[in-house]
A and B are shown apart, each in its own frame.
Chain A
Amino acid sequence: MTAGQAFLWVLALIAFGFCLRRGPAAGHRAVADAGRNLLKILPMFAVALPMAAFLAELVPADAASGWIGPESGLAGIAIASFAGGLMPGGPFVTFPLVLTFAKAGAGVAQMSALITGWSIFAIHRIVTWEYPVLGWRFVMLRLISGLPLPIAAGLIADAVLQVLPITLGRP
Protein backbone atom coordinates (compact mmCIF):
# COMPACT_ATOMS: atom_id res chain seq x y z
CA MET A 1 0.00 0.00 0.00
CA THR A 2 1.34 3.41 -0.97
CA ALA A 3 1.35 6.50 1.28
CA GLY A 4 -1.50 8.00 -0.72
CA GLN A 5 -3.64 4.90 -0.27
CA ALA A 6 -2.91 4.80 3.46
CA PHE A 7 -3.96 8.46 3.67
CA LEU A 8 -7.21 7.69 1.89
CA TRP A 9 -7.94 4.81 4.29
CA VAL A 10 -7.26 7.07 7.30
CA LEU A 11 -9.72 9.66 5.91
CA ALA A 12 -12.31 6.95 5.19
CA LEU A 13 -12.02 5.43 8.67
CA ILE A 14 -12.26 8.86 10.35
CA ALA A 15 -15.41 9.68 8.36
CA PHE A 16 -16.82 6.23 9.12
CA GLY A 17 -16.02 6.80 12.81
CA PHE A 18 -18.13 9.98 12.74
CA CYS A 19 -20.94 7.95 11.17
CA LEU A 20 -20.76 5.38 13.95
CA ARG A 21 -20.89 8.16 16.57
CA ARG A 22 -24.26 9.15 15.11
CA GLY A 23 -25.43 5.62 15.76
CA PRO A 24 -25.05 2.10 14.37
CA ALA A 25 -27.81 2.71 11.80
CA ALA A 26 -25.82 5.48 10.06
CA GLY A 27 -22.73 3.25 10.03
CA HIS A 28 -24.75 0.41 8.57
CA ARG A 29 -26.25 2.68 5.88
CA ALA A 30 -22.76 3.88 4.93
CA VAL A 31 -21.43 0.34 4.51
CA ALA A 32 -24.51 -0.72 2.52
CA ASP A 33 -24.18 2.37 0.30
CA ALA A 34 -20.49 1.66 -0.34
CA GLY A 35 -21.28 -1.98 -1.16
CA ARG A 36 -24.03 -1.03 -3.64
CA ASN A 37 -21.70 1.42 -5.39
CA LEU A 38 -18.94 -1.21 -5.53
CA LEU A 39 -21.33 -3.61 -7.29
CA LYS A 40 -22.25 -0.85 -9.76
CA ILE A 41 -18.65 0.05 -10.51
CA LEU A 42 -17.18 -3.47 -10.87
CA PRO A 43 -18.77 -4.17 -14.31
CA MET A 44 -17.32 -0.85 -15.51
CA PHE A 45 -13.88 -1.92 -14.34
CA ALA A 46 -14.30 -5.31 -15.99
CA VAL A 47 -14.69 -3.71 -19.43
CA ALA A 48 -12.74 -0.43 -19.03
CA LEU A 49 -9.44 -1.80 -17.75
CA PRO A 50 -9.05 -4.49 -20.48
CA MET A 51 -10.02 -1.87 -23.10
CA ALA A 52 -7.28 0.49 -21.90
CA ALA A 53 -4.81 -2.43 -21.82
CA PHE A 54 -5.64 -3.54 -25.40
CA LEU A 55 -5.36 0.02 -26.68
CA ALA A 56 -2.05 0.43 -24.85
CA GLU A 57 -0.70 -2.57 -26.80
CA LEU A 58 -2.07 -1.30 -30.14
CA VAL A 59 -1.00 2.33 -29.90
CA PRO A 60 2.58 2.55 -31.25
CA ALA A 61 5.20 3.89 -28.86
CA ASP A 62 5.49 7.29 -30.56
CA ALA A 63 1.91 7.62 -31.82
CA ALA A 64 0.98 10.51 -29.55
CA SER A 65 4.26 12.43 -29.83
CA GLY A 66 3.24 14.23 -33.03
CA TRP A 67 -0.26 15.59 -32.44
CA ILE A 68 -0.24 15.88 -28.67
CA GLY A 69 3.46 15.57 -27.83
CA PRO A 70 5.37 17.96 -25.56
CA GLU A 71 6.42 20.03 -28.61
CA SER A 72 2.90 20.30 -30.07
CA GLY A 73 2.24 23.58 -28.24
CA LEU A 74 -1.10 25.37 -28.47
CA ALA A 75 -2.38 23.19 -31.34
CA GLY A 76 -1.70 20.02 -29.31
CA ILE A 77 -3.37 21.56 -26.26
CA ALA A 78 -6.46 22.40 -28.34
CA ILE A 79 -6.60 18.89 -29.85
CA ALA A 80 -6.22 17.30 -26.42
CA SER A 81 -8.95 19.55 -24.93
CA PHE A 82 -11.35 18.47 -27.66
CA ALA A 83 -10.37 14.80 -27.46
CA GLY A 84 -10.99 14.90 -23.71
CA GLY A 85 -14.65 15.68 -24.34
CA LEU A 86 -14.97 12.51 -26.43
CA MET A 87 -13.63 10.14 -23.74
CA PRO A 88 -16.41 7.59 -23.37
CA GLY A 89 -16.64 7.03 -19.62
CA GLY A 90 -15.79 7.85 -16.05
CA PRO A 91 -12.40 8.12 -14.32
CA PHE A 92 -11.83 4.35 -14.58
CA VAL A 93 -11.63 4.83 -18.36
CA THR A 94 -9.98 8.23 -18.65
CA PHE A 95 -7.05 7.90 -16.26
CA PRO A 96 -5.79 4.53 -17.60
CA LEU A 97 -6.10 5.95 -21.14
CA VAL A 98 -4.14 9.09 -20.16
CA LEU A 99 -1.44 6.75 -18.87
CA THR A 100 -1.51 4.96 -22.24
CA PHE A 101 -1.19 8.26 -24.14
CA ALA A 102 1.67 9.36 -21.86
CA LYS A 103 3.57 6.15 -22.63
CA ALA A 104 2.95 6.83 -26.33
CA GLY A 105 4.68 10.21 -26.09
CA ALA A 106 1.91 12.68 -25.12
CA GLY A 107 3.05 15.89 -23.41
CA VAL A 108 2.30 16.67 -19.76
CA ALA A 109 0.67 20.05 -20.54
CA GLN A 110 -1.43 18.40 -23.26
CA MET A 111 -2.61 15.74 -20.79
CA SER A 112 -3.57 18.46 -18.29
CA ALA A 113 -5.71 19.97 -21.08
CA LEU A 114 -7.18 16.56 -21.90
CA ILE A 115 -8.23 15.82 -18.31
CA THR A 116 -9.69 19.33 -17.98
CA GLY A 117 -11.51 18.93 -21.32
CA TRP A 118 -12.90 15.58 -20.23
CA SER A 119 -14.05 17.04 -16.89
CA ILE A 120 -15.89 19.91 -18.59
CA PHE A 121 -17.10 18.59 -21.95
CA ALA A 122 -17.55 14.80 -21.45
CA ILE A 123 -20.36 14.23 -23.95
CA HIS A 124 -21.58 10.94 -22.52
CA ARG A 125 -22.21 12.60 -19.14
CA ILE A 126 -24.11 15.51 -20.70
CA VAL A 127 -26.35 13.20 -22.73
CA THR A 128 -27.02 10.67 -20.00
CA TRP A 129 -27.22 12.90 -16.91
CA GLU A 130 -26.94 16.64 -17.26
CA TYR A 131 -29.49 17.19 -20.02
CA PRO A 132 -32.18 14.86 -18.58
CA VAL A 133 -31.78 16.19 -15.02
CA LEU A 134 -31.10 19.90 -15.59
CA GLY A 135 -32.12 20.73 -19.18
CA TRP A 136 -30.39 22.28 -22.20
CA ARG A 137 -30.25 25.80 -20.80
CA PHE A 138 -28.11 24.67 -17.90
CA VAL A 139 -25.87 22.66 -20.24
CA MET A 140 -25.35 25.76 -22.45
CA LEU A 141 -24.73 27.98 -19.43
CA ARG A 142 -22.07 25.63 -18.11
CA LEU A 143 -20.43 24.88 -21.48
CA ILE A 144 -20.08 28.55 -22.44
CA SER A 145 -18.73 29.47 -19.00
CA GLY A 146 -16.25 26.60 -19.09
CA LEU A 147 -15.26 26.82 -22.77
CA PRO A 148 -11.81 28.44 -22.41
CA LEU A 149 -10.78 26.50 -19.30
CA PRO A 150 -9.14 23.36 -20.82
CA ILE A 151 -6.91 25.43 -23.10
CA ALA A 152 -6.10 27.78 -20.22
CA ALA A 153 -5.20 24.77 -18.05
CA GLY A 154 -2.91 23.42 -20.79
CA LEU A 155 -1.16 26.77 -21.27
CA ILE A 156 -0.68 27.31 -17.52
CA ALA A 157 0.67 23.76 -17.17
CA ASP A 158 3.05 24.48 -20.07
CA ALA A 159 4.33 27.58 -18.24
CA VAL A 160 4.70 25.63 -14.97
CA LEU A 161 6.66 22.90 -16.78
CA GLN A 162 9.24 25.47 -17.94
CA VAL A 163 10.13 25.89 -14.26
CA LEU A 164 9.24 22.50 -12.74
CA PRO A 165 10.04 19.38 -14.78
CA ILE A 166 6.97 17.31 -13.76
CA THR A 167 6.47 13.91 -15.38
CA LEU A 168 3.48 11.61 -15.77
CA GLY A 169 3.13 8.08 -14.46
CA ARG A 170 3.37 6.04 -11.32
CA PRO A 171 6.06 7.20 -8.92
Chain B
Amino acid sequence: MITLIRRHASLVVIAAIGATAAAVLWRRDGTAAVGAALVHAWDLFLFIAPSLLAGLLLAAALRQLMSPGGLARWMGAESGWFGLAVAMLAGALTPGGPMAAFPLVLVLAGAGADRGALVAYILSWALNGFQKLLVYEVPLLGPDFAIMRTLITLPMPMLAGWIARRLPIAWEAPK
Protein backbone atom coordinates (compact mmCIF):
# COMPACT_ATOMS: atom_id res chain seq x y z
CA MET B 1 0.00 0.00 0.00
CA ILE B 2 2.76 2.39 1.04
CA THR B 3 4.65 1.64 -2.18
CA LEU B 4 1.49 2.20 -4.19
CA ILE B 5 0.95 5.62 -2.57
CA ARG B 6 4.64 6.44 -2.96
CA ARG B 7 4.56 5.59 -6.65
CA HIS B 8 1.38 7.41 -7.48
CA ALA B 9 0.86 10.21 -4.93
CA SER B 10 2.34 12.92 -7.18
CA LEU B 11 0.42 11.58 -10.16
CA VAL B 12 -2.91 11.72 -8.29
CA VAL B 13 -2.28 15.21 -6.87
CA ILE B 14 -1.22 16.58 -10.25
CA ALA B 15 -4.14 14.91 -12.02
CA ALA B 16 -6.56 16.39 -9.45
CA ILE B 17 -5.13 19.90 -9.87
CA GLY B 18 -5.19 19.47 -13.65
CA ALA B 19 -8.81 18.23 -13.71
CA THR B 20 -9.94 21.11 -11.48
CA ALA B 21 -8.11 23.65 -13.64
CA ALA B 22 -9.62 22.11 -16.79
CA ALA B 23 -13.14 22.31 -15.30
CA VAL B 24 -12.69 25.95 -14.26
CA LEU B 25 -11.26 26.83 -17.68
CA TRP B 26 -14.11 25.01 -19.45
CA ARG B 27 -16.76 26.90 -17.42
CA ARG B 28 -15.06 30.24 -18.05
CA ASP B 29 -13.96 29.97 -21.69
CA GLY B 30 -15.65 26.86 -23.13
CA THR B 31 -14.45 23.74 -24.90
CA ALA B 32 -12.28 25.54 -27.44
CA ALA B 33 -10.05 27.00 -24.71
CA VAL B 34 -9.55 23.56 -23.15
CA GLY B 35 -8.65 22.18 -26.58
CA ALA B 36 -6.20 25.01 -27.21
CA ALA B 37 -4.50 24.36 -23.86
CA LEU B 38 -4.15 20.67 -24.72
CA VAL B 39 -2.55 21.62 -28.05
CA HIS B 40 -0.07 23.82 -26.11
CA ALA B 41 0.72 20.89 -23.81
CA TRP B 42 1.34 18.62 -26.81
CA ASP B 43 3.62 21.22 -28.42
CA LEU B 44 5.59 21.46 -25.19
CA PHE B 45 5.91 17.68 -25.13
CA LEU B 46 7.20 17.57 -28.71
CA PHE B 47 9.66 20.33 -27.81
CA ILE B 48 11.01 18.46 -24.79
CA ALA B 49 10.87 14.91 -26.23
CA PRO B 50 14.32 14.88 -27.94
CA SER B 51 16.06 16.02 -24.73
CA LEU B 52 13.97 13.61 -22.68
CA LEU B 53 15.03 10.59 -24.73
CA ALA B 54 18.69 11.66 -24.79
CA GLY B 55 18.61 12.32 -21.04
CA LEU B 56 17.15 8.89 -20.28
CA LEU B 57 19.75 7.15 -22.45
CA LEU B 58 22.59 9.15 -20.87
CA ALA B 59 21.32 8.40 -17.35
CA ALA B 60 20.96 4.70 -18.09
CA ALA B 61 24.43 4.50 -19.67
CA LEU B 62 26.02 6.32 -16.71
CA ARG B 63 24.36 3.91 -14.28
CA GLN B 64 26.12 1.05 -16.11
CA LEU B 65 29.49 2.85 -15.99
CA MET B 66 29.69 4.37 -12.51
CA SER B 67 30.16 2.69 -9.14
CA PRO B 68 29.23 5.25 -6.48
CA GLY B 69 30.55 3.16 -3.57
CA GLY B 70 34.12 3.73 -4.78
CA LEU B 71 33.77 7.49 -4.29
CA ALA B 72 32.68 7.18 -0.67
CA ARG B 73 36.19 6.57 0.68
CA TRP B 74 36.94 10.24 -0.10
CA MET B 75 33.75 11.36 1.66
CA GLY B 76 34.41 10.39 5.31
CA ALA B 77 34.08 12.56 8.42
CA GLU B 78 37.74 13.65 8.21
CA SER B 79 37.59 14.48 4.49
CA GLY B 80 37.11 18.24 5.01
CA TRP B 81 36.24 20.51 2.09
CA PHE B 82 37.74 18.03 -0.38
CA GLY B 83 35.20 15.40 0.68
CA LEU B 84 32.38 17.92 0.33
CA ALA B 85 33.65 18.82 -3.15
CA VAL B 86 33.67 15.13 -4.17
CA ALA B 87 30.12 14.79 -2.80
CA MET B 88 29.02 17.90 -4.72
CA LEU B 89 30.45 16.55 -7.96
CA ALA B 90 28.98 13.08 -7.44
CA GLY B 91 25.54 14.57 -6.68
CA ALA B 92 25.49 16.77 -9.78
CA LEU B 93 26.44 13.77 -11.93
CA THR B 94 23.89 11.39 -10.40
CA PRO B 95 21.26 10.60 -13.03
CA GLY B 96 17.62 9.83 -12.45
CA GLY B 97 14.87 10.76 -10.02
CA PRO B 98 14.42 10.28 -6.26
CA MET B 99 13.85 6.55 -6.67
CA ALA B 100 17.48 6.32 -7.81
CA ALA B 101 19.15 9.05 -5.73
CA PHE B 102 17.90 8.38 -2.18
CA PRO B 103 18.86 4.69 -2.13
CA LEU B 104 22.33 5.80 -3.33
CA VAL B 105 22.68 7.84 -0.11
CA LEU B 106 22.45 4.54 1.76
CA VAL B 107 25.07 2.98 -0.51
CA LEU B 108 27.44 5.91 0.10
CA ALA B 109 26.79 5.84 3.85
CA GLY B 110 27.55 2.12 3.94
CA ALA B 111 30.80 2.76 2.07
CA GLY B 112 32.00 5.36 4.61
CA ALA B 113 30.60 8.78 3.66
CA ASP B 114 29.70 10.98 6.67
CA ARG B 115 26.49 12.96 7.22
CA GLY B 116 27.97 16.24 5.93
CA ALA B 117 29.06 14.65 2.67
CA LEU B 118 25.69 12.91 2.31
CA VAL B 119 23.77 16.16 2.82
CA ALA B 120 26.05 17.83 0.24
CA TYR B 121 25.57 14.90 -2.14
CA ILE B 122 21.77 14.81 -2.07
CA LEU B 123 21.42 18.62 -2.18
CA SER B 124 23.78 18.76 -5.14
CA TRP B 125 21.67 16.15 -6.94
CA ALA B 126 18.48 18.09 -6.16
CA LEU B 127 19.85 21.54 -7.00
CA ASN B 128 22.29 20.96 -9.82
CA GLY B 129 21.63 17.47 -11.22
CA PHE B 130 22.78 17.48 -14.84
CA GLN B 131 19.74 15.58 -16.11
CA LYS B 132 17.21 18.11 -14.78
CA LEU B 133 19.38 20.95 -16.03
CA LEU B 134 19.89 19.66 -19.58
CA VAL B 135 16.51 17.99 -20.16
CA TYR B 136 14.20 20.60 -18.61
CA GLU B 137 15.77 23.83 -17.44
CA VAL B 138 17.89 24.78 -20.46
CA PRO B 139 15.22 24.05 -23.11
CA LEU B 140 12.26 25.49 -21.16
CA LEU B 141 13.75 28.48 -19.33
CA GLY B 142 16.61 29.34 -21.68
CA PRO B 143 20.38 28.80 -21.36
CA ASP B 144 21.09 32.27 -19.88
CA PHE B 145 18.83 31.71 -16.89
CA ALA B 146 19.83 28.06 -16.42
CA ILE B 147 23.56 28.90 -16.42
CA MET B 148 23.11 31.83 -14.03
CA ARG B 149 21.03 29.81 -11.57
CA THR B 150 23.35 26.81 -11.69
CA LEU B 151 26.47 28.93 -11.13
CA ILE B 152 24.78 30.55 -8.12
CA THR B 153 23.67 27.29 -6.52
CA LEU B 154 26.71 25.17 -7.53
CA PRO B 155 28.76 25.71 -4.31
CA MET B 156 25.73 25.75 -1.97
CA PRO B 157 25.68 21.99 -1.22
CA MET B 158 29.25 22.22 0.12
CA LEU B 159 28.20 25.00 2.48
CA ALA B 160 25.18 22.98 3.65
CA GLY B 161 27.40 19.93 4.16
CA TRP B 162 29.81 22.01 6.24
CA ILE B 163 26.87 23.18 8.39
CA ALA B 164 25.47 19.63 8.66
CA ARG B 165 28.79 18.39 10.10
CA ARG B 166 28.41 20.97 12.90
CA LEU B 167 24.75 20.32 13.76
CA PRO B 168 24.17 18.26 16.93
CA ILE B 169 21.98 15.71 15.15
CA ALA B 170 23.46 12.23 15.07
CA TRP B 171 22.38 10.11 12.11
CA GLU B 172 22.99 6.44 11.44
CA ALA B 173 22.01 4.79 8.19
CA PRO B 174 18.86 2.71 8.78
CA LYS B 175 19.64 -1.01 8.65
B126 at the A interface (CB under 8 A): yes
Chain B binding surface SS class:
helix
Which of B25, B50, B134 is within 8 Å of A1, CB to CB?
A: B50
Chain A binding surface SS class:
helix
Nearest-Cβ distance from residue B89 to partner chain A, whole angstroms: 16
List of B residues within 8 angstroms of A4 by Cβ: 51, 134, 138-139, 143
Q: Do residues A8 and B61 form an inter-chain contact, with CB atoms below 8 A?
A: no
Q: Complex: how many Å from CA A91 to CA B159?
A: 24
Per-residue CB proximity of A102-124 to B under 8 Å, as 1/0?
Answer: 10000010011001100110101
Q: Complex: how many Å from CA A93 to CA B87?
A: 27
List of A residues within 8 angstroms of B53 by Cβ: 34, 38
Q: Do residues B40 and A56 form an inter-chain contact, with CB atoms below 8 A?
A: yes
Nearest-Cβ distance from residue B61 to partner chain A, whole angstroms: 4
Q: Complex: how many Å from CA A19 to CA B40?
A: 37
Which of A8, A30, A138 is within 8 Å of B51, CB to CB?
A: A8
Q: Do residues B51 and A5 form an inter-chain contact, with CB atoms below 8 A?
A: yes
List of B residues within 8 angstroms of A37 by Cβ: 56, 59-60, 96
List of A residues within 8 angstroms of B41 by Cβ: 49-50, 52-53
Q: Do residues A135 and B171 form an inter-chain contact, with CB atoms below 8 A?
A: yes
Q: Determine the residue in chain A with the shortest Cβ distance to B166.
A: A145
- Given A37-B96, A149-B160, A119 and B152 touching (CB < 8 A)? no
List of B residues within 8 angstroms of A133 by Cβ: 102-103, 105-106, 174
List of A residues within 8 angstroms of B36 by Cβ: 57
List of A residues within 8 angstroms of B143 by Cβ: 4, 171
- Given A12-B61, A170-B142, A120 and B102 touching (CB < 8 A)? no
- Given A129-B99, A141-B115, A41 and B145 touching (CB < 8 A)? no
Closest 3 CB pairs of A and B: A51-B18, A54-B21, A15-B61
A-B contact list, 5 entries, CB within 8 Å: A12-B55, A30-B57, A49-B45, A119-B123, A170-B142
